[in-house]
Amino acid sequence: MAYARTIVFDLDGTLVDTAPDLIRALNYVLEREGLPALPLASARNMIGAGARKLLERGLEAEGRIVGPEEMNRLTADFIDYYGENIAVASRPFEGLEMALDALAERGCQFAVCTNKLEWLSKRLLDQLGLSGRFAAICGADTFGVAKPDPAILRQTIARAGGDIGAAVMVGDAGTDVGAARRAGVPVIGCTFGYTDVPIAELNPDQLIDHMRDLPAAVEALRPVQNGT
């Protein structure tokens, strides 16, 4: 290949198991509002569309609908709490760093394209010692658009110095598959993430059950990318 393949990752539920800290922050807001906490097992699939949507889903699960101004206040409180407690229990998925090492040896570079806010994404990856692995870390506020809008994926690839014709998206949910499809980028689905629709039903180009499977999945896309 004339240039390195750019592999773009979703963050929550793909790179990092962030559910424990996100749901802790959600429950902080719910309990302060006099509502019962949600169990992690049932709330984890509410993750993936950003803080505001997570709060909306959590409130709806408790039968509470709030107006825009109150939602703004609750979202700000959620972000404040989460930002201070962002990596208490969040950890990279098993096998991630070995997979990144193997792919880097093959000339790949990496970027993050997430619906999380950019500063929260960078803070999380900083605290986990992962930021230095990524040529670009872009969130829903970086370009003013969120997945599944393909613009955020295209601009993330450009910011990383990559070529969209040699890029791959890796994600765990419909927003990732949707952004990739609309951008014309092949997509690898992770079965271990957060989604209310099983990722297999969204027909990604490759499917992995563990990060150790990622290098082989990327390699399987090579003929498509090389046009051979």
What pLDDT was estimated at residue 226? 39
Where does the pLDDT of residue 4 fall: very low under 50, low under 70, confident under 90, or very high at 90 and above?
Answer: low
What pLDDT was estimated at residue 227? 39
Which one is the CATH code of 6-17+90-226: 3.90.1150.10, 3.30.300.30, 3.40.50.1000, 3.30.70.120?
A: 3.40.50.1000
User: Nearest to residue 37, comparing CAs of 45, 27, 47, 24?
Assistant: 27
69 membership: H or E segment, kind and range: helix 68-84
Residue 223 has pLDDT above 60, yes or no: no
Residue 150 CB contacts under 8 Å (≥ 6 apart), including other chains? 179, 180, 182, 183
> Could you tell me where the beta strands, DSSP code E, fall in 142-226?
167-171, 187-190, 206-208
Which one is the CATH code of 19-84: 3.40.50.300, 1.10.150.240, 3.40.50.460, 3.40.50.2000?
A: 1.10.150.240
Residue 208 has pLDDT above 80, yes or no: yes
Across 1-5, 147-151, 171-175, 185-189, least confident range: 1-5
The model carries a pTM of: 0.92
Residue 4 CB contacts under 8 Å (≥ 6 apart), including other chains? 107, 108, 109, 162, 166
Sketch the domain layout of the chain as residue ranges.
Answer: 6-17+90-226, 19-84
Are 6-17+90-226 and 19-84 equal in CATH topology? no
What pLDDT was estimated at residue 2? 35
Percent of the chain with pLDDT over 70: 95
Instruction: Using alpha carbons, list the distances in angstroms from residue 206 to 38, 59, 63, 165, 194.
Output: 33, 35, 38, 17, 17
The catalytic residue positions are: 10
Residue 3 has pLDDT above 60, yes or no: no
Q: Residues 43, 196: contact at Cβ < 8 Å?
A: no
What pLDDT was estimated at residue 222? 64
Average pLDDT for 153-163: 97
